Structure 1
């Protein structure tokens, strides 16, 4: 393979021509801690030097600023809630309390039913007099058609061919 010789500040480093190093090879080049990010003709990429503290402040927000952000967001939500609560109270004043209206409607419907059609208990008694009690009707149908259990057994016998 063809090798390329790189020299800088009296240091000579031999690296492969395409710039690929072998596995597990550590390559570092430092000349000044204040260097900027740029590429030179040699193919060595330099990155801007920064202290660890500066780097962490840029990459990650400090917990204090994150806390302030969440606190501001909470205040905004709280203000929206108060605005909605005020709007609800305004609507309540305008339309009245629905629960109270429901109770009023309930009372009105009870009065109407008693005046016009009678109470529900009276209607049930009238239908029993006219058609008979439900229990009596069930007994009559059992006498005429047989009990439900007997009918199920008969249908099983017919299905299985017994």
Structure 2
């Protein structure tokens, strides 16, 4: 790993002030309800929902493109795609212009699941941000975009990653 502390002296990690920890907990708390719906109603894991979300927004798309955008490792991505395939939610097609590439699409059933889950996802985010005024939400989105871009630069040596929309 490329991350090394400046000094070797051990320090106490304070979880209540750690942004990484806070991001993780917020995601678990808010995303948990959406993930529970996906799992209980449609048999879809959290990772598989992330793949479906990318497919719903970007299809047709390759697994490589989803991995790059989501920072998902190939093992978890492969498991998620296999689950979606077993459930009949995703279709894999050979790209006619490059037979080495596999293009992914949601099936009609997968698209129906996506269409049903998206409103819950949007509502969860709206509920989370409901205590913030419009200016605060705009500032938060602007700051999160900068943090997103920095995380991409840290993750990818070339820093070439997708950025969220404003």
TM-score by length of 2: 0.17
Q: Which has the higher contact order (CA 8 A, sep 6+)?
A: 2
TM-score by length of 1: 0.18
Which of the pair has more CA radius of gyration? 1
